[in-house]
Amino acid sequence: MTKNVAQLMGDLESIGRDPLRGGYSRPGFGTHELTLLEWFVAEAESRGLDIERDRNGITWAWWDLPETATGSAADSGDKPNRAHAIATGSHLDSVPGGGAFDGPLGVASALASLDQLQEQERNGTLRRTRPLVIAVFPEEEGSRFGVACLGSRLITGAISPQRALALTDRDGSSFADAARAVGLNPEHMGADPARLSGLDAFLELHVEQGKFLGKDPLGPAVAVASSILGHGRWRFSFAGQGNHAGTTLMADRHDPMIAAAAFVVAVRDEVSAESGARGTVGRLEPIPGGTNVVASRVDVWLDVRHPDDVVTAGLVERLHHRATALADAEGCTVTMSEESMTGTVNFDGGLARGLLNSVERVAPGTQLLPSGAGHDAGILASVIPTGMIFTRNPTGISHAPEEYVEDADAQHGVDALTLALADLLTEELQN
């Protein structure tokens, strides 16, 4: 049975609701992400796709070539030839209290596009030269283990398995344990160039996370990505003297919370002075975190983004100096550690132009749009031609419950993805 994208998104409506903020909390390798993954597998299997879970926890759903495909990668043996595949997909995990669309829209749109493409193949208007595979990446947000795009970083070798496996979540569980709990073997994780070499392109449809398309409700509902802003995460640990809230005079304190609070303001000031930069402290943890306890330590997570990676490095260095001075002033200390850094990614120009041409046919006036948000597509771009399509979000808000997509715009996104995939899937093979 085929479903449109709104129906597919509707299937997910009740899964992983966040009781505190609203929206959804679906951390990587957690129950809700896994429930969504089970839904995806059932939907993909009902469309005749063959499911593989790779050694890094990425799920691949294959729409192999029909036996009759000519001049193509089709194979007469038992095993389908999966070379020269076109991949599409996204992720199913979310930030804490995130929107419904960041990730799942790309997966639901891929399934809805598949319905359209399968119908075209049945009625003879689509003659593929390549297989299609829908990929679902785990822990894209890094909201559980701290490093975003963990699946795509592992498969491309952008993170070593040793480092990834040692990451821990807020409860102290390691990524190795979480991987084992879902049936993966940590010893087998790591770069998988053989799998990636079978992919000729990856295309990710994603909800737009800024305000560009929403400004003109009558304009095109979709855009094509030009680039992803360089971004990184750093942890600052301010340490002081834990103590009693009642017996410790103000003058006697070495309170790391004061240094941390001043640092948050310093981030706002320092980053605002750097044109094009963004800096965020979205997470701060006092140890131990008691109302009547002067904290012993406060951990502060900093997210910094700028198109020029050298500017980002300079900004972070200045912030490190500011943190040291602020800690000194309170008789505290601070240590900084880099948790991740991904340079600015410019997407493959040829693929982006091809996407614009394809998408123009359903969305005249479609434009190229830089992304301020990170994506698995940005990690994969270092090894395969990669592109992205954005679907309008009228609120311009993301990583929050107010993120939104109208059903009609979601359908435009699917139609654009179908055209783009059809063009890629029917391209002559070059070898």
Among the listed residues 359, 369, 425, the one whose alpha carbon sits nearest the alpha carbon of residue 207:
369
Q: Is 206 annotated as a binding residue?
A: yes
Contact letters (x/-) for ligand GLV, 124-143, by CB under 6 A?
-----------------x--
Distances (CA, A) of 386 to 87, 103, 175, 380, 409: 9, 17, 27, 7, 23
Q: Is 141 annotated as a binding residue?
A: yes
148 binds, among Mn ion, ligand GLV, none (CB under 5 to 8 A by kind): ligand GLV
Q: Is 305 annotated as a binding residue?
A: yes
Q: How far is the CB of 305 from ligand GLV (least distance, A)?
A: 8
Q: How far is the CB of 417 from ligand GLV (least distance, A)?
A: 19
Write out the two tokens for 87. Answer: 């991949």
Q: Is 306 annotated as a binding residue?
A: no
Write out the two tokens for 283. Answer: 């997470």
Q: Say whether 32 sits in a helix, a strand or coil.
A: helix
Among the listed residues 55, 140, 70, the one whose alpha carbon sits nearest the alpha carbon of residue 373:
140
Nearest-angstrom CA–CA distance, 364 and 410? 16
H/E element holding 34?
A: helix 31-46
Nearest-angstrom CA–CA distance, 188 and 314? 37
Which range in 96-104, 144-152, 214-222, 252-260 contacts Mn ion by CB under 5 A? 96-104
Residue 217, CB-side half-sphere exposure with 13 Å CA sphere = 5
Nearest-angstrom CA–CA distance, 206 and 201? 16
- 196/400 with CB nearer ligand GLV: 400
Q: Is 375 annotated as a binding residue?
A: no
Write out the two tokens for 175. Answer: 């990524």
Q: Is 390 exposed, middle or buried (0-12, 13-18, 19+ CB in 10 A)?
A: buried
Q: Which of 43, 64, 93, 102 binds Mn ion (CB under 5 A)?
A: 102
- 80/396 with CB nearer ligand GLV: 396
**Contact between 96 and Mn ion (CB under 5 A)?**
no
Q: How far is the CB of 148 from ligand GLV (least distance, A)?
A: 5
**Contact between 103 and Mn ion (CB under 5 A)?**
yes
Q: How far is the CB of 109 from ligand GLV (least distance, A)?
A: 17
Nearest-angstrom CA–CA distance, 84 and 66? 15
- Could you report how far apart the first and last alpha carbons of the chain are, in Å? 37
Matching residue, tokens 């759903």: 61
Contact letters (x/-) for ligand GLV, 345-384, by CB under 6 A?
----------------------------xx----------
Instruction: Name the E strands within 214-296.
Output: 222-228, 230-239, 243-244, 278-287, 293-294
In the chain, what is the greatest distance between 2 CA atoms, to the nearest angstrom? Answer: 83
Write out the two tokens for 56. Answer: 């890094």
- 56/342 with CB nearer ligand GLV: 342
Among the listed residues 354, 348, 352, 363, the one whose alpha carbon sits nearest the alpha carbon of residue 425:
354
Nearest-angstrom CA–CA distance, 244 and 251? 13
Q: How far is the CB of 380 from Mn ion (least distance, A)?
A: 13
Q: Is 122 annotated as a binding residue?
A: no
Q: Is 102 annotated as a binding residue?
A: yes
103 binds, among ligand GLV, Mn ion, none (CB under 5 to 8 A by kind): Mn ion
- 43/141 with CB nearer ligand GLV: 141
Q: Is 292 annotated as a binding residue?
A: yes
Nearest-angstrom CA–CA distance, 341 and 255? 30
Which range in 33-41, 98-106, 263-271, 314-322 contacts Mn ion by CB under 5 A? 98-106
Q: Is 112 exposed, middle or buried (0-12, 13-18, 19+ CB in 10 A)?
A: buried
- 112/148 with CB nearer ligand GLV: 148
**Contact between 148 and ligand GLV (CB under 6 A)?**
yes
Nearest-angstrom CA–CA distance, 257 and 254? 9
- 105/258 with CB nearer ligand GLV: 105
**Contact between 204 and Mn ion (CB under 5 A)?**
no
Matching residue, tokens 């790779």: 54
374 binds, among ligand GLV, Mn ion, none (CB under 5 to 8 A by kind): ligand GLV
**What is the size of the binding site for ligand GLV (CB under 6 A)?**
4
**Contact between 388 and ligand GLV (CB under 6 A)?**
no
Nearest-angstrom CA–CA distance, 112 and 22? 27
- 148/295 with CB nearer ligand GLV: 148
Annotated binding site for Zn(2+): 91, 102, 141, 206, 399
Annotated binding site: 91, 102, 141, 206, 233, 292, 305, 399
Residues that bind Mn ion (CB under 5 A): 102-103
Residues that bind ligand GLV (CB under 6 A): 141, 148, 373-374
